[in-house]
Amino acid sequence: MKRAELLAGALILVFVFSGLVSAKPQADVDEWTAIDLFVRYQIDVASKAGTLEDSHFVDKVTELVLLKFSKELDAEISKYAKDLTLEQREHLKYLLVSDYVSHLYQKSFYPKNAKVLVVKPIKVASVKAESKVYDYYYAPMSSSIPYPIHWWVQVRVDVTGGSGVDDKGNGYNVDGKNDLFNIIVYYTSSSVQYELHFYDEDHPHPWMDDWYDGYRCDHYPDRDSTYGCEDIESINVENGVIEFPGTFSGDYDCHGNYCEEPQTYAVDGPHHYSGTRPYSSNVAIYISNTWNHLMDTVDSNPSMEKVSWYTSWD
């Protein structure tokens, strides 16, 4: 979607005329703290206005942050991006801001007063089918949580590493080791939030991945750094609907003569869309439709080999 379209609409007008003033940082607040406060304010305003579930919310707030804090962001990334071109610096800023906005946005959907389960998948088998190998991981869970999801499917190179092209012809060269290593489940009697923990997320271009990882790890100090910088994404299931709050890889969506298509694994600058799908007991979640783990119940990379993680609810 074009930037002009993203910045249009009543949501943005509310933000511009109320948020830019009320969320003005104080002089003694550092750049990233000011951004954090500004984003939280936008989420609060949208929640009260009933516009929080806008499918392009994360993109819209990302654009606002990039406009308002452009100079501050330049200063923030200066030590990480000394050798980058102007275009590359702008790309890095977009990736960092959209990642952070999405992180705060997802947190706003967590159920209140939830019970918590922590699950660590274990590999139990490898199966070959039609020249493709599928690894299966088992993660036993003993609970009566609502809306259990058993299958989590990840693009194989996201785990093993490798180079090639995705289903739209985008090239990638990734290290891998981005395994789904932990699932934290927040649940009530009627809803469940699945928080998925990956060891890292690999930008498809190694030169960008180095800058991106370095900055993220410095600003997410509580995350696992075994193989890079831990990535945390989530989905919510309630009222028979799976909600992807800023974690949706996208759907076919036409606007006049322009049609937006689902994003594929090696898309250079992924957009954090929101979306919904119906829940069913046999649903599978494709957790790496993009390299930064945007997902769907539909596989946007059918030609790429997969790793399947299975969680049992015995």
- Residue-averaged pLDDT of the chain: 86
Question: Are 309 and 151 a contacting pair, CB within 8 Å?
Answer: yes
Given a cut of 70, is residue 157 above it in pLDDT? Answer: yes
Host domain of residue 245: 115-312
Q: Are 41 and 153 contained in the same domain?
A: no
Q: How confident is the model at residue 30 (pLDDT cuts 50, 70, 90)?
A: confident
Name the DSSP class of 301: -
User: Do residues 136 and 279 share a domain?
Assistant: yes
At which of 85, 107, 129 does a domain end?
Answer: 107
Same domain, 103 and 119: no
Number of domains in the chain: 2
pLDDT score of 222: 81
Q: Are 279 and 307 found together in one domain? A: yes
Give me the count of residues in the chain. 314
pLDDT at 61 over 50: yes
pLDDT-derived band at 142, boundaries 50, 70, 90: low
CA dihedral 307, 192, 115, 200 (to 10 degrees): 40
Q: Is 74 helix (H, G, I), strand (E, B) or coil?
A: helix
**92 & 207 share domain:** no
Q: Is the pTM of this model over 0.85?
A: yes
Q: Are residues 89 and 203 in the same domain?
A: no
The tens digit of pLDDT for each residue in 165-219 reads: 999 999 999 999 999 999 999 999 999 999 999 999 999 999 889 888 888 888 8
